[in-house]
């Protein structure tokens, strides 16, 4: 009965349209009332859940991404991408994908990437003769990549949801090969479609100009070096790396690129606090929800259930993937990570699955959900920027799901794709 109140109550009020954060809150409160847990304990968890030091990385990563997006970092990276792949048939589409690979290392957010790269690339692609829908689809599909590389705050959220047992540094390392695979698979798809539909070719960029573009982009790329280098060398914690990256990015954008002004600073802070507010309140309530789940021993019950229905690792992973893909169409990435991680994590040892590997599977899988109706923020933003309807995108994006699902399966069934890099670099 208590479990029904908690899980069922949450599902019902959530579907009715209550914000996810408060739906988690009221379900926890109801379950606590029913089981005689003092409500102070629920409130304690809401605030206490936010107080881990590593959670501080979230505002910093979001702020760093926002500074990059507001300044001309995206344009500079698009230019750099043009140097590499601009001259091939379908070149601009490839530029779009490669720019997302690079910009991903700055924003860590699929929506920010769509907004930043899309607003530069979609108009350019349309002008060059690409179909509008294709331009939007390439943009939002490419925006899966930032979820898996630093400074993805979703990886921080996973690490938090895992009770701090998963190292953020290891997650960052683990995401790199899957991201490159994702980019490569999209490139193959685009090359195929470009040939089939005879898309335009771009121009080659002269070497001298290419050099200048590369130098111009290097300042931004140093931010990534700070984050990755700081964490892997142990000089900074992920949180400190995030904060220093913010200060550095601000310095570069303000004094080197001169892209933002002091007057824009309050607006920038306002934006970031709103995002942080949305994410953190959800984290807070999901921690209290997770607390009630722990009290009611739901993870233990779920473990028993999954161990009973799936007799091996491969079937278990398949079930989980299908379940997450289905849930991901309705729910966003962050709340799903927060709700599902504490349930699945205790099951992993029984099947011999590494939590870092599992985190990559979850984030990739749920990331695909960001590109599906009815609830898909990346898709919504892509549609808004490309000025197309969600229905049209939903129909035409189907072919783009193929490479994503293939990569998801590869990542699911070849753990080394995720684990080789962290093992090699961190041991």
Partner 1 sequence: QKTVLKAADVHPLGYPTVEAVVQMGKKLEQATNGRLSIQMYPSMQLGGEKEMIEQAQVGALQFARVSVGPVGAVVDNLNVFNLPFVFRNTAHMRAVIDGPIGDRLLKEITDNPKSGLIGLAWMDSGARSFYNKTRDIKSVEDLKGLKFRMMGNPIFVDTANALGANGVAMGMDQVMNALQTGVVDGAENNPPSYDSFGHVPVAKHYSLTEHLIIPEILVFSRKSFDAMSKEDQALIMKFGKETQLEQRKLWDERTKMAMDKIKAAGVNVITIADKKPFQDAVKPVWDKYGAKYADLVKQIQETK
Partner 2 sequence: MGEGMVSQYSRLMDIVHRGCLIVAGGCLLIITLIIPYGVFTRYVLNSAASWPEPLATLLMIVMSFISAVVCYREYLHIGVGVLPAFLNEPYKTALGWLLEALMLLTNLFMLWWGLKLVATTYNQIIPEFPVLSVGISYLPVPLGGGLTILFIIERMMKGQFFQEADAETVSTLTTE
Report what 56 binds from partner 1, Na ion, partner 2, none; CB cut-off 5-8 Å by kind.
partner 2
Q: What is the DSSP string of 203-227?
A: -PPPHHHHHHHHHHHHHHHHHHHHH
Report what 345 binds from Na ion, partner 1, partner 2, none; CB cut-off 5-8 Å by kind.
none
Contact between 348 and 378 under an 8 Å Cβ cutoff? The reply is no
Stretch that binds partner 1, among 71-79, 109-117, 228-236, 319-327 (CB under 8 A): 228-236
- Six-digit token pair at 345? 């994590």
- Three-class SS state of 371: coil
- Tokens 């692609």 correspond to what residue? 125
- Six-digit token pair at 69? 């997006």
The set of residues, in sequence order, having a beta carbon less than 8 Å from that of 408 and lying 6+ positions away, is: 321, 361, 364, 365, 368
* CB of residue 416 to partner 1, shortest distance in Å: 21
- Six-digit token pair at 19? 């914000």
Number of residues this chain uses to bind partner 2 (CB under 8 A): 80
The widest CA-to-CA distance across the chain, in whole angstroms, is: 72
Among 151, 169, 359, 376, binds partner 1 (CB under 8 A): 169
Query: What is the C-alpha separation between 150 and 354, in angstroms, rounded?
Result: 20
Q: Which of residues 316-375 bind Na ion (CB under 5 A)?
A: 329, 369, 372, 375
Q: Which of residues 267-326 bind partner 2 (CB under 8 A)?
A: 269-282, 284
Q: Which of residues 12-71 bind partner 1 (CB under 8 A)?
A: 37-38, 40-41, 44-45, 48, 53
Q: What is the DSSP string of 64-76?
A: HHHHHHHTTHHHH
Q: Does 146 bind Na ion (CB under 5 A)?
A: no
Q: Which of residues 199-238 bind partner 2 (CB under 8 A)?
A: 236
Instruction: Give whichever of 1 and 207 is closer to partner 1, judged by the CB atom.
Output: 1
**40: number of Cβ within 10 Å:** 9
DSSP 89: B
Query: What is the C-alpha separation between 380 and 391, in angstroms, rounded?
Result: 11
Instruction: Give whichever of 45 and 82 is closer to partner 1, judged by the CB atom.
Output: 45
Q: Does 364 bind partner 2 (CB under 8 A)?
A: no
Q: Which of residues 238-277 bind partner 2 (CB under 8 A)?
A: 239-240, 243-244, 246-247, 266, 269-277
| Site of interaction with partner 1 (CB under 8 A) | 37-38, 40-41, 44-45, 48, 53, 163-164, 167, 169, 233-235, 237, 291, 294-295, 426-427
| Site of interaction with Na ion (CB under 5 A) | 100, 113, 117, 139, 142-143, 329, 369, 372, 375-376
């Amino acid at each position: 009965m208590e479990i029904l109140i908690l899980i069922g109550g949450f599902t019902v009020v959530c579907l009715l349209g209550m914000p996810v954060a408060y739906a988690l809150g009221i379900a926890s409160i109801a379950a606590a009332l029913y089981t005689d847990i003092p409500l102070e304990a629920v409130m304690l968890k809401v605030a206490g859940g936010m107080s881990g030091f590593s959670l501080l990385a979230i505002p910093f990563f979001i702020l760093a991404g926002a500074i990059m997006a507001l300044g001309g970092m995206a344009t500079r990276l698009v230019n750099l991408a043009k140097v590499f792949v601009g001259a091939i048939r379908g070149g601009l589409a490839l530029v779009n994908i490669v720019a997302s690979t690079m910009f991903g290392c700055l924003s860590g957010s699929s929506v920010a990437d769509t907004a930043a790269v899309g607003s530069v690339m979609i108009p350019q692609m349309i002008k060059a003769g690409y179909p509008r829908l294709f331009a939007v689809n390439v943009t939002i599909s490419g925006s899966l990549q930032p979820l898996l590389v630093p400074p993805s705050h979703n990886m921080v959220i996973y690490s938090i949801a895992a009770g701090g047992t998963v190292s953020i540094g290891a997650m960052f390392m683990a995401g790199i090969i899957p991201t490159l695979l994702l980019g490569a698979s999209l490139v193959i798809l685009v090359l195929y479609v470009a040939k089939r539909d005879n898309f335009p070719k771009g121009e080659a960029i002269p070497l001298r100009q290419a050099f200048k573009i590369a130098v111009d982009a290097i300042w931004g790329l140093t931010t990534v070096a700070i984050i990755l280098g700081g964490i892997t060398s142990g000089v900074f914690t992920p949180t400190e790396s995030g904060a220093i990256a913010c200060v550095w990015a601000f310095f570069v954008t303000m004094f080197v690129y001169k892209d933002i002004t002091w007057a824009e600073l309050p607006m920038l802070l306002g934006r970031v606090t709103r995002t942080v507010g949305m994410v953190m309140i959800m984290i807070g309530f999901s921690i209290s929800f997770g607390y009630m789940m722990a009290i009611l021993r739901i993870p233990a019950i779920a473990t028993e259930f999954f161990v009973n229905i799936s007799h091996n690792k491969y079937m278990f992973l398949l079930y989980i993937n299908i379940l997450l893909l289905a849930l991901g169409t309705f729910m966003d990435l962050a709340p799903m990570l927060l709700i599902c991680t504490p349930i699945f994590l205790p099951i992993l040892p029984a099947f011999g699955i590494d939590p870092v590997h599992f985190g990559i599977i979850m984030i990739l899988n749920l990331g695909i959900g960001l590109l599906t109706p009815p609830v898909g923020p990346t898709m919504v933003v892509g549609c808004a920027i490309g000025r197309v309807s969600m229905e049209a995108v939903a129909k035409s994006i189907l072919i783009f799901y193929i490479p994503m699902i293939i990569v998801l399966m590869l990542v699911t069934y070849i753990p080394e794709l995720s684990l080789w890099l962290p093992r090699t670099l961190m041991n």
